[in-house]
Structure 1
Amino acid sequence: MADNYLHKSTDEIKYFSMKMFRPNMDSIPSYPLPPGYSFQLYKKDSNDDEKWIDICKAAGEFKTKEQGMEMFEKYFGEYKKNDLISKRLYFLVNPDGKYIGTATAGIDQINGKEEGSLWWVSIIPEYQGKKLAKPLVSYVLHKIAEYSNVCYLDSQTTSWRAINMYADFNFVPSILKPDNFEDAWQLLSKLCNRNFLNDIDQTD
């Protein structure tokens, strides 16, 4: 979920699902947007549902609009009912007013507690590689820090470029997904030229 914009999946990289977390929300790096770009919150009584689906579909998160509608309802159905969606779902907008990216300041149940979670980071292909990913992630992490002192995210080894970026934001491996834990992080250590396994003793 959330970071296919940083890579194109390849069969040469073995797929493992994995989880990362930021053990505290202190000293989040800040990255400014290029001139003319902006962030917009989800608006009620608009077609923002479709904008989200279009962005994530273009980024390869799912293949059809029908799948996108299912994912939107799964992750944001309750948020729409209590209007939390208009406080948590962010869009990245280009200078012409086109919605080109999205990320969500989410909440997950972790060990019986509600914890901050970074959801659905996506940027449409023609705007990838334009130094927009880090400003988007940074902005949403600052929002998560307003209600949580920790942040989790789910990803996969095929998204290794995204994993490398999240490590720049001080995310470390989480043992909450123990299956293939060492295999996954050994592979990611090689791909990212980092020793992620050194961070195991910091995990939750």
Structure 2
Amino acid sequence: MEEIPDLNIFMMCPSINREALTDLPEGFHVRNLRKEELDIWMAMPFDDPETAKEYKPFMEDFFHTTYGGQDELFFEKTLVVCDKYGEPVATCLLWKAYGRFSTIHWFKVLPSYEGKGIGRALLSIIMKDLKQEDYPVYLHTQPGSYRAIKLYSDFGFDLLSGDRFGSRKNELEESLAILEKCMPKQEFYKLKITEAPEDFKEALESVTTVQF
């Protein structure tokens, strides 16, 4: 398969589909990220050590821009799924971007652990106890994450239409053409598109940093 470009996709969950919730498979457990594991966390989004090394300055900048001054809260919010040896194999956190919007950050399952139900269970843990005032929940992703997009859709996330959110162009139309090729047709046609709320669009007009 040809390389899939990193285009911007934005999604929003107005309310959870509780039928999507599952438990962790046997042999895995969830806990908070530990301070001494920050470098491990920074490398987890990338599938090989060289790419992780290349993007480490980006991850450090994102960490300081988004979580700086709230380190304790970051480690409290960041969950990792561990195997039977206690090694992190997946991570995710829910964060109030710009202090206003609930957003999913850095949802990742290591490739060798994909297909075991870990990602669905982790997203279940993140979202199952959210209160009504925590919604809607937003996230940013790319068409290369089409398996995750299917999962997000199961939980109730819709694709957001609109030209631009903050400093980033919304590249939904280009992404849809890619998703149609990559996703099973029955899953692609389940995707829903909705207009972003006005308060979300207006709030992002004035931001100068990327926090989700």
Specify if TM > 0.5: yes
Cα distance, 1:126 vs structure 2: 2.3
Structure 1: any 5+ residue segments left out of the alignment? Answer: 1-9
Identity %: 20
Q: d(CA) in 2 for partners of 1:59 and 1:122?
A: 14
1:25-44 to 2 correspondences below 5 Å: 25=16, 27=18, 29-43=20-34
Among 158, 172, 183, the residue aligned to 1:181: 172
Change (3 A) 1:68 1:13: closer
Partner residue in 1 for 2:67:
76
Structure 2: any 5+ residue segments left out of the alignment? Answer: 165-169, 198-212
Among 116, 121, 126, the residue aligned to 2:107: 121
Change (3 A) 1:52 1:12: closer
Instruction: Count matched residues.
Output: 187
Q: d(CA) in 2 for partners of 1:156 and 1:96?
A: 32
**Contact 1:117/1:144 (CA < 8 Å) preserved in 2?**
no
Cα distance, 1:153 vs structure 2: 0.6
Q: d(CA) in 2 for partners of 1:101 and 1:200?
A: 28
TM-score under structure 1 length normalisation: 0.76
Alignment-mate amino acid for residue 97 of structure 2: D
Partner residue in 2 for 1:5:
none
Partner residue in 2 for 1:108:
97
Partner residue in 2 for 1:166:
152
Partner residue in 2 for 1:200:
193
Root-mean-square deviation (CA, aligned residues, Å) is 2.9
Change (3 A) 1:131 1:86: same
Cα distance, 1:19 vs structure 2: 0.3
Cα distance, 1:189 vs structure 2: 3.9
Q: d(CA) in 2 for partners of 1:60 and 1:74?
A: 24
Change (3 A) 1:167 1:26: closer
Cα distance, 1:28 vs structure 2: 6.2
